[in-house]
């Protein structure tokens, strides 16, 4: 059985305490690599536990943090959806700090970075500066490019001046996500767009840690992540052969359609990355890791990673936890 370890890391960006969850393969299991996960908007890290346990069973040390303004990475519950003024830069630097920590703990293991939804924007913004730190990137549930983000940033500026940065913007929420629910008008839940499994949807809607309204400050960070992700400037591609995989549900309104999904894939290729693949799953929605067929998704992702042959740096868990005295989770 894998084991879970929790820790708190102080953000070097501004001192915010970040809540981190580690899932470690059982002792003696051959370790294939490290999987660092970055979750999406208005959710929390524990929602990824089933996937992390599956990957740990297959030899991957899995690490995820609550992004700032989410889960346990807040000073109080009133700060959910608030980025503490750090914007996109703080989000990316939090990821960067944890990546560096994992490189220090596991220097001889390949590191795979996985981002879902808003997290998929964050990991691509990370990629622009820090691709030398990772060995593979998986982009899941990617929001497609939206040119209206400029209009959204204007609303952010106006509302910030009128209401302040902590204002919870129903207007921006409606403009950003209103059309998603409209795609499934016959379904009972407002958030049915996230998953075909209505139990998952209900649990999401019932959770105090999910589905909250973002603050103006949070939307400012989100829109900046979108702009950085789809910008043609600022990319420092140092690893053009690095494997990059885009995955998503064909019925995900966040992706939009096949053409927009292909555009996101091609954008990364245009920045110099040559080993980029994309796969859409018919009939699935935004959270493919929570769909009824999630075990197939897990197998597909594990199979893709294994196919890339990163095994030259594999170790057993006993070796990992005893190399240099720096690798055990405290």
**Any domain includes 326:** no
**Any domain includes 104:** yes
CATH number where 27 lies = 3.40.50.1820
**Any domain includes 158:** yes
Q: Over the stretch 47-75, which tens digit does the pLDDT of each residue have?
A: 999 999 999 999 999 999 999 999 999 99
**Any domain includes 272:** yes
Q: Over the stretch 68-97, which tens digit does the pLDDT of each residue have?
A: 999 999 999 999 999 999 999 999 999 999
Containing structural domain, residue 15: 3-320
**Any domain includes 325:** no
Report how many domains make up the chain: 1
Q: Over the stretch 265-295, which tens digit does the pLDDT of each residue have?
A: 999 999 999 999 999 999 999 999 999 999 9
Give me the DSSP letters along 256-310: -SHHHHHHHHHHHHHTT---EEEEEETT--S-GGGSTTHHHHHHHHHHHHHHT--
**Any domain includes 327:** no
pTM of the model: 0.93
Distance CA 292, CA 279 (A): 18
Rounded average pLDDT over 136-144: 97
Check pLDDT > 70 for residue 327.
no
pLDDT bucket at 325, cuts 50 / 70 / 90: very low
pLDDT bucket at 329, cuts 50 / 70 / 90: very low
**Cβ contact 34:110 at 8 Å:** yes
**Any domain includes 329:** no
Q: For residue 311, what pLDDT is reported?
A: 57
Q: For residue 322, what pLDDT is reported?
A: 43
Mean pLDDT for all residues in the chain: 92
Q: Over the stretch 145-177, which tens digit does the pLDDT of each residue have?
A: 988 899 999 999 999 999 999 999 999 999 988
Q: For residue 256, what pLDDT is reported?
A: 93
Check pLDDT > 70 for residue 313.
no
Distance CA 101, CA 8 (A): 13
**Cβ contact 315:59 at 8 Å:** no
**What is the phi/psi pair of residue 30, to 5°?**
-65, 130
pLDDT bucket at 309, cuts 50 / 70 / 90: confident
């Amino acid at each position: 059985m894998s084991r879970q370890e929790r820790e708190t890391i102080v953000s070097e960006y501004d001192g915010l305490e970040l809540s981190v969850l580690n899932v470690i393969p059982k002792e003696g299991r051959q370790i294939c690599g490290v999987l660092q996960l970055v979750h999406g908007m208005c959710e929390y890290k524990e929602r990824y536990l089933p996937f992390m346990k599956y990957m740990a069973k297959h030899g991957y040390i899995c690490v995820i943090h609550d992004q700032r303004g989410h889960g346990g990475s807040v000073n109080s519950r009133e700060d959910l959806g608030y980025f503490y003024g750090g914007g996109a830069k703080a989000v990316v630097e939090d990821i960067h700090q944890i990546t560096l920590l994992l490189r220090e703990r596991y220097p001889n293991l390949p590191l795979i970075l996985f981002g879902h939804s808003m997290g998929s924007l964050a990991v691509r913004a990370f990629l622009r500066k820090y691709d030398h730190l990772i060995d593979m990137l998986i982009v899941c549930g990617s929001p497609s490019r939206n040119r209206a983000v400029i209009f959204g940033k204007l609303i952010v500026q106006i509302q910030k001046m009128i209401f302040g940065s902590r204002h919870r913007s129903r207007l921006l929420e409606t403009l950003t996500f209103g059309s998603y629910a409209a795609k499934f008008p016959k379904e009972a839940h407002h958030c049915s767009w996230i998953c075909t499994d209505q139990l998952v949807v209900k649990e999401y809607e019932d959770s105090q840690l999910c589905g909250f309204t973002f603050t103006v400050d949070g939307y400012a960070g989100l829109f900046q992540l979108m702009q950085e992700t789809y910008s043609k400037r600022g990319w420092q591609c140092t690893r053009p052969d690095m494997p990059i995989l885009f995955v998503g549900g064909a019925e995900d309104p966040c992706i939009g359609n096949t053409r927009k999904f292909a555009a996101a894939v091609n954008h990364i290729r245009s920045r110099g990355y040559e080993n980029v693949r994309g796969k859409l799953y018919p009939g699935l929605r935004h959270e493919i890791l929570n769909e009824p067929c999630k075990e197939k998704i897990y197998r597909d992702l594990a199979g893709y990673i294994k196919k890339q042959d990163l095994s030259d740096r594999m170790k057993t868990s006993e070796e990992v936890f005893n190399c240099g005295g720096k690798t055990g989770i405290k």
